[in-house]
Chains A and B, each alone.
Chain A
């Protein structure tokens, strides 16, 4: 069930100002923009803002609820990221070994390669976990807190904390066995 954003009195859904959309879009993208897109982040925000406004304008009868606006924004931003990723992969001739940070201001080629290798080893280790631990630790690695994981997976937070603890311990053992050390 969609939770529509409503005014203080619980009345009709309120619109969002375009200026505010841009500011909040910029903040959200800054929080989660892939490292390899860092140098183009502002361009991504601009392009997404344009497309969101165009899409909202194209459907003038639609109620401009917060849910609708941000659902549209999510679709547009992900589309823009995929477009940039596709261009980059083509330019790199499919050399996905270098997936990961490419902003020269944030990482050297050696660090990028090291991070990519760690990522490969990490995913291999995550894949070896039993499903309950795997699902919890994936959300943990995506930055979710135990209470959020519990809500998403419809289980209690205490159980989640235990699973996270055991799963991360297992991951570190697995990584160490694969030659990854702290």
Chain B
């Protein structure tokens, strides 16, 4: 192959673009702030700062991934026409709808059936994707979680898998992320239980990583607390 000729396969542009965000970071240093990335992709950084950031991208695949995300999101701001309405709803109404929808999204994001949601002011589509793994809770949903023995357990994934558990309140606020752990069970910390009123609901969700690096998630389980 002539080195100057456009290449296909592993040396083609598509392959190189994909590879640019793969592999080990080298000398990455602290993460670039989202504000800095936002300004960079919008062309608002002074040349010297932009060049320093590009040098960082050249070394760090994670930073390059984040640039791509920031760019895609910034493009939404520039492509605002579809969302611009000359006479939008008044601010209080907008805020009220945002508040209600935030609650709807939070619950939907944690995998609850829409039927179990509180009434929403607008018709809500189904937002939740299907779970990607066969991770099932091993505790009875109908039995309140004991405050004396607050253990959450689930069916193990493959041998050597590691787990992380996200705990959240019913409104979707994340209270804790536990793990990673090799055991398919965790004890709920006391401070998390304190954040749940008696008879309140704890949402929990398991993320599993197999030894080959593949990740999967459970649905979100809903557990009433004593």
Interface on A for B, CB 8 Å cutoff?
A: 3, 5-9, 11, 14-20, 22, 24-25, 27-29, 31-36, 39-43, 46-47, 49-50, 53-54, 56-57, 60, 64, 66-67, 69-71, 73-75, 77-79, 81-83, 85, 87-88, 90-92, 95-104, 109, 112, 115-120, 122-123, 126-127, 131, 134-135, 138-139, 141-143, 151-154, 165, 168-169, 171-173, 175-176, 180-182
Contact A57–B99 (Cβ < 8 Å): yes
Known interface pairs A32-B69, A50-B172; A142-B57 also in contact (CB < 8 Å): yes
Contact A115–B19 (Cβ < 8 Å): yes
Contact A29–B213 (Cβ < 8 Å): no
Note all chain B residues with C-beta closer than 8 A to A126.
58
- A-contact bits for B44-76, CB 8 A (1 contact / 0 none): 000100110011011101101111111111111
Known interface pairs A8-B86, A102-B215, A180-B10; A46-B105 also in contact (CB < 8 Å): yes
19 A-B pairs within 8 Å (CB atoms) are namely A5-B83, A14-B83, A18-B102, A28-B76, A29-B72, A42-B128, A43-B109, A46-B105, A64-B91, A64-B94, A71-B35, A74-B74, A119-B23, A123-B23, A131-B51, A141-B16, A168-B6, A172-B11, A180-B10
> Which of A25, A32, A70, A169 is in CB contact (< 8 Å) with B68?
A32
Closest 5 CB pairs of A and B: A119-B23, A100-B22, A46-B109, A5-B80, A42-B129
The minimal Cβ–Cβ distance linking A103 to chain B, given in whole angstroms, is: 7
> Which of A50, A101, A169 is in CB contact (< 8 Å) with B4?
A169
Q: Which residue of B lies closest to A1 (CB)?
A: B44
User: How far does the alpha carbon of A47 sit from the alpha carbon of B172 in the complex, in Å?
Assistant: 9
Known interface pairs A47-B109, A50-B102, A74-B37; A119-B61 also in contact (CB < 8 Å): yes
Note all chain A residues with C-beta closer than 8 A to B154.
none
Contact B57–A7 (Cβ < 8 Å): no
Looking at B24-32, B142-150, B184-192, B196-204, the stretch in contact with chain A turns out to be B24-32
User: How far does the alpha carbon of A107 sit from the alpha carbon of B23 in the complex, in Å?
Assistant: 14
User: How many chain-B residues does the 8 Å CB contact rule pick out?
Assistant: 94
Contact B214–A104 (Cβ < 8 Å): yes
Known interface pairs A43-B129, A119-B23, A141-B17; A75-B35 also in contact (CB < 8 Å): yes
The minimal Cβ–Cβ distance linking A69 to chain B, given in whole angstroms, is: 7
Contact B65–A115 (Cβ < 8 Å): no
Contact B22–A119 (Cβ < 8 Å): yes
Note all chain B residues with C-beta closer than 8 A to A154.
47
Tell me whether B155 is interfacial, beta carbon within 8 Å.
no
The minimal Cβ–Cβ distance linking A2 to chain B, given in whole angstroms, is: 8
The minimal Cβ–Cβ distance linking A151 to chain B, given in whole angstroms, is: 6
Contact A7–B38 (Cβ < 8 Å): no
> Which of B55, B86, B127, B213 is in CB contact (< 8 Å) with A9?
B86
User: How far does the alpha carbon of A119 sit from the alpha carbon of B15 in the complex, in Å?
Assistant: 10
User: How far does the alpha carbon of A91 sit from the alpha carbon of B162 in the complex, in Å?
Assistant: 6
- Beyond A122-B20, A142-B20, 9 additional contacts (C-beta under 8 Å) are A5-B84, A17-B97, A20-B82, A27-B76, A28-B73, A50-B172, A131-B51, A134-B55, A143-B17
User: How far does the alpha carbon of A28 sit from the alpha carbon of B10 in the complex, in Å?
Assistant: 27
User: How far does the alpha carbon of A104 sit from the alpha carbon of B157 in the complex, in Å?
Assistant: 15
User: How far does the alpha carbon of A17 sit from the alpha carbon of B89 in the complex, in Å?
Assistant: 9
The minimal Cβ–Cβ distance linking B40 to chain A, given in whole angstroms, is: 8
